[in-house]
Structure 1
Amino acid sequence: MANALFLALALLAQDGQASAQTSPNAPPTDEYGYVAWCYGALGGYASLYDQVMPEVTRIEKAFPGPDGVQAALKTYPEMRAQAQKDLKTFASAITAAEKASPRPISEYGGAQVKRGAAVWQGAASVDKARLAQMWMSWSPPGDCEKRAKTLEMKSSILGRALNYNAAGSATTPTPTSPPPAQPETPAPAQPETPAPQPVAEAPAPKPAAATPAATTAMPKAKPAAAPAKKLPPIGGGEIIVDPVNPVPCAGSLLPAKRGGRDVLICKPN
């Protein structure tokens, strides 16, 4: 068990390709699973802080660096604080992806969290000095934070696009007649007449559109019929999805930057 732990830790300290090919606990290739794996591995690292720090302190005192023991020991609380901050970033990205996904993915994400945490599974049985040494030299893959931020950005944009599509596909019934006037709205005053007037001479009633109730009701029946906005092709046939004002995409959404802004490119399937 101990040998398996140290082999996994040593591989994870190297670049991802060798790790992915050799270690059974290496991160998956998809973005959501990768960030979930990072969360599990970093969470396991952070949870060992109290266990390893007495031995870490002993090692630092026995082999002081050029800046002295206190300077070296000061870095570990800072590393723990950074780990806790990164865990929040990963959790936020994971949550955003699960909300934006059209199908349930949390079970898969939970499995990747466990795979990430499994790189520390031998920590309870290994010699404390060796565990402290490996813990001192370990760090998560350098692209965990970057991929988490990318995942959250893509999930946020995709979520807005899905909501837009769902709203656009809903059928809105068109009322056959304007809603009745509210009781609080007084009817226009009619001039009093001393006696009934002949029908031919009665003043023509005001059109319903001129009354406050009709004027208010008419615009409410029209938004559902407004035509959907069309995405203009930009530069070589690209179709840009603006996250501020998303529109339906009949294809795949790919993240990109245009004009200094984060956007998605709609690629037809």
Structure 2
Amino acid sequence: MNMPQITVATINLRNRADRWRERRHLLVAQLLDASPNLISLQEISFPIAQGRWIRNQLNARLPEGVRPYRLIQLRKQHPVNRYLEGIGVLANLPLLYSDSLNLGYGGRVALRVNVELSNRQPLDFVATHLHHVAAEKEARQEQALMLTGWLSDRRPVPAQVVAGDFNELPSGPAIQIMKQRFRSAYQQRHGSEPLATFPTALLPLGDWSGCLDYIFVSSGIRQVPAAKIFCDKPDPDDDTLYPSDHVGLQATLEI
């Protein structure tokens, strides 16, 4: 029997900051080149309807007959931040339901989108963005424990993917908690995490760089035939202009 194969991805958008109007077409073009089935988006700017703009631009450029993307998005659960920013999922697979978890620390959230695969099997695709203060590892550790507990206790399914900006290096406690229940798709293919997913030349920070972004897969995902960095190409005429301050991750999964 043929097993369903899908492509998933994650990218932090850097909201509307750092030359958004100049870099947004780079982002759309590189998302189109990859055309993942499911995309986790972080730092969506709600005041400019950034998520809807990206969805509309992608759908307008898709080849005829290709299933369009649907956008499911969620504001941060915080009295101030909720008006500014959130996370979301772009999906071109049939949606069964969605739900969310409040992770605290400035209204951080996890958004689960449950989709139907070609063999009628359900899959959880979860977008998240953990606490950003580098020194506060205990906060991200708490968030990872909340996240893994929620996914195992509330409407669990065998096939689960968690993708996003964890603001944590591979050695950090939050990543170690995730790896107790999940495998890293990139590590599965390459033996280690990327050297760095942040920053790009869009946001020069001196010599510091690190891997902060991950795609985690459950044991219900049979194989990871491919995993790579994407959304990593600068503008041909400006080597400081990138789609975002993060590069994205993309993985092909066999379920």
Q: Calculate the TM-score normalised by the size of structure 1.
A: 0.19
Over alpha carbons, which structure has the higher Rg?
A: 1
Q: TM-score scaled by structure 2?
A: 0.19
Q: Which has the higher strand share?
A: 2
